[in-house]
Amino acid sequence: MTSPHQPGAAPPPGCPAHAAPAQQYPPAQPDAQTPVKLYGPDFAADPHRIYDQLRQYGALAPVEIAPEVTAMLVTDYRAALDLLHDDATWSKDSREWMTTVPADSPVMPMLMWRPNIFYADGPAHVRYRDVVVDSFKLVEPHELRARVHHAADSLIRRFGAHGEVDLIADYARLIPLLMFNNLFGMPDSYSDRLITAIGGMLDGNSPEEAAAANEAYTSYIMELVGMKKAERGPDLTSWFMDHPNALNDEELIHNVILTMGAGNEPLANLIGNALSRMLSDDRYYHTLSGGALTAHDALNEVLWNDPPLANYSAHFPVRDVFFHGTWVRKGQLVMVSYAAANSQFDTTGQTGPGSGGGSHLSWAAGPHACPVKRHALLIATTAIERLTAWLSDIELAVDASELQWRNGAFHRALAALPARFTPITPDQAGATPWHNRDSSPTSSTRSEATSMERPPVSAR
């Protein structure tokens, strides 16, 4: 997920993009190097330690993203920008590369070629992108915000009376599913199928699990398209179908698959990572009752330091190329590490009002930059604000050091985020979020004795 690199969107001071001349790296020969694993418990626990190790190779480093599947990973900020903006040298078409990888590889669902916006080049990519962008323009921000409120309130009603919650399983992962399931025109009852399929593709723990997840996701999409062909509605699937660019059935299915997949799991992890930061960092402990740092600040900090999609932007050179000190073979898989590139310079103290930190690479960059990042940020911000408005004293139920991260080369995702709070009953008549000062107290509002703001993390 990066802000498009364009005039007026200059990187912050200290960013490698300001450096002149460009940093010089020693040449590297990938075939002679042992690739570093981007999966397993060590990588999941501390990926930045691995990124520091990878920088010893130069701007690009050899990595293994799954058993028997290797790639070159761009860890340098400026090299990443050069690659992402050079569609004459770098193609998104993975078909040649696919012949070199086991067909049952667990990463295949994330990297196999499809006729969609992600894997297309040139005019085909523009054609697909126009469909996605034009359709999302029909979703009004106020309508989107109202849908998030509805989804958030429905989830909080499920766990509000319990006083404890796993904010990943019971909130962060469900909000995007409810939203995109609804935006694409499917009933809420289909949400569980969607989360199982998308989560399975991203985790990719075994060939069997990856294949099953891909099959489940395809089945869901086929049902969705079949329903919308029979009866259109005010939804993204119908707008994709009726767009003047006239996608054929195969193009329609695969662009829905890509758009929905890209809008669910990464967005869930963005929400989860931001909530984790807010609940474990003293700088945010006043936020829940109106402090200086906001949900937007937490999201920006996550996008800089712990992007939910940490390594992606698969590219393949159209010819042998010497790129930032490394020879890359024609058709070889090259990925961008948004997390490593972002961490190349210190962002400490830049998060917060007036920081201007908007040039991270977490939305990608260039022609393949995320086309709907504003919608994603609106959903994430609103979901966090709604939760913290209802649960103003919410806090972690475990020490932050005990949080576990999920395995996988692509994402940065918590396995769970246990939290506790004073029980509430938001489904009672007249119940409103705590920060709504205009509403009168209701039976769901805490008494004076229990409505104190949570203490700072350092005080526990």
Residue 43 domain-assigned (yes or no): yes
Which residues neighbour 290 within 8 Å (Cβ) at sequence distance 6 or greater? Answer: 435
pLDDT classification of 70: cutoffs 50, 70, 90: very high
Instruction: Provide the CATH number for the domain around residue 284.
Output: 1.10.630.10
What DSSP element (H or E) covers 326?
A: strand 326-328
Q: How far apart are CA 395 and CA 242, in angstroms?
A: 46
Tens digit of each residue's pLDDT (9 = 90 or more) over 338-373: 999 999 865 554 544 334 444 899 999 999 999 999
pLDDT of residue 289: 53
Q: How far apart are CA 132 and CA 118, in angstroms?
A: 11
Flag whether pLDDT at 409 surpasses 50.
yes
Give the strands of the sheet with 311-317, arranged side by side. 36-37, 60-66, 69-74, 334-337, 311-317, 90-91
Q: How many CB atoms lie within 10 A of CB 418?
A: 15
Q: How far apart are CA 171 and CA 138, in angstroms?
A: 26
Domain range holding 402? 16-459
Phi then psi for 411, rounded to 5 degrees?
A: -110, 165
Q: What does pLDDT average to over the chain?
A: 84
CA–CA distance from 409 to each of 48, 139, 253, 300, 335 (Å)?
13, 32, 26, 22, 11
Share of the chain above pLDDT 70, in %: 80
Q: How far apart are CA 415 and CA 456, in angstroms?
A: 24
Residue 380 domain-assigned (yes or no): yes
Q: What is the mean pLDDT of residues 146-170?
A: 95
**Placement of tokens 């109106």 in the chain:** 290
Flag whether pLDDT at 169 surpasses 80.
yes
Phi then psi for 280, rounded to 5 degrees?
A: -125, 5
Q: How far apart are CA 283 and CA 215, in angstroms?
A: 44
pLDDT of residue 264: 87
Q: What is the mean pLDDT of residues 151-168?
A: 95
Token pair for 243: 């767009």
Residue 9 domain-assigned (yes or no): no
Q: How far apart are CA 109 and CA 211, in angstroms?
A: 8
pLDDT of residue 188: 81
Flag whether pLDDT at 31 surpasses 60.
no
DSSP string, 140-174: -HHHHHHHHHHHHHHHHHHHTTTSEEETIIIIITH
- Give the count of domains, the chain: 1
One-letter amino acid at 90 equals W
Flag whether pLDDT at 291 surpasses 50.
yes
Q: Give the range among 143-157, 176-190, 343-357 with minimum mean pLDDT.
A: 343-357
**Placement of tokens 């400026």 in the chain:** 78
Flag whether pLDDT at 196 surpasses 90.
no
286 versus 389: which is more confidently predicted? Answer: 389
pTM, two decimal places: 0.83
pLDDT classification of 33: cutoffs 50, 70, 90: confident
pLDDT of residue 29: 46
**Placement of tokens 């019971």 in the chain:** 170
Tens digit of each residue's pLDDT (9 = 90 or more) over 233-277: 999 999 999 999 999 999 999 999 899 888 888 999 999 999 999
Share of the chain above pLDDT 90, in %: 67
Q: What is the mean pLDDT of residues 67-84?
A: 97
Q: What is the mean pLDDT of residues 288-312?
A: 87
Identify whether 441 is preceded by a cis peptide bond (ω within 30 of 0): no
CA–CA distance from 180 to each of 166, 186, 264, 265, 279 (Å)?
21, 9, 7, 11, 26
pLDDT classification of 222: cutoffs 50, 70, 90: very high
Q: Give the range among 39-48, 191-200, 289-298, 443-452 with minimum mean pLDDT.
A: 443-452
Q: How far apart are CA 446 and CA 456, in angstroms?
A: 20
Flag whether pLDDT at 288 surpasses 70.
no
319 versus 11: which is more confidently predicted? Answer: 319
Q: Give the range among 6-20, 70-84, 374-388 with minimum mean pLDDT.
A: 6-20
Q: How far apart are CA 139 and CA 149, in angstroms?
A: 15
pLDDT of residue 24: 44
38 versus 392: which is more confidently predicted? Answer: 38
pLDDT of residue 354: 36
214 versus 311: which is more confidently predicted? Answer: 311
pLDDT of residue 325: 96
Flag whether pLDDT at 426 surpasses 60.
yes
What DSSP element (H or E) covers 313?
A: strand 311-317
Q: What is the mean pLDDT of residues 197-211?
A: 74
Do 199 and 94 meet the contact criterion of CB atoms below 8 Å apart?
no
pLDDT classification of 28: cutoffs 50, 70, 90: very low
pLDDT of residue 16: 39
pLDDT of residue 446: 36
CA–CA distance from 91 to each of 22, 78, 311, 313 (Å)?
24, 19, 17, 11
Q: What is the mean pLDDT of residues 119-129?
A: 97
pLDDT of residue 425: 80
pLDDT of residue 451: 38
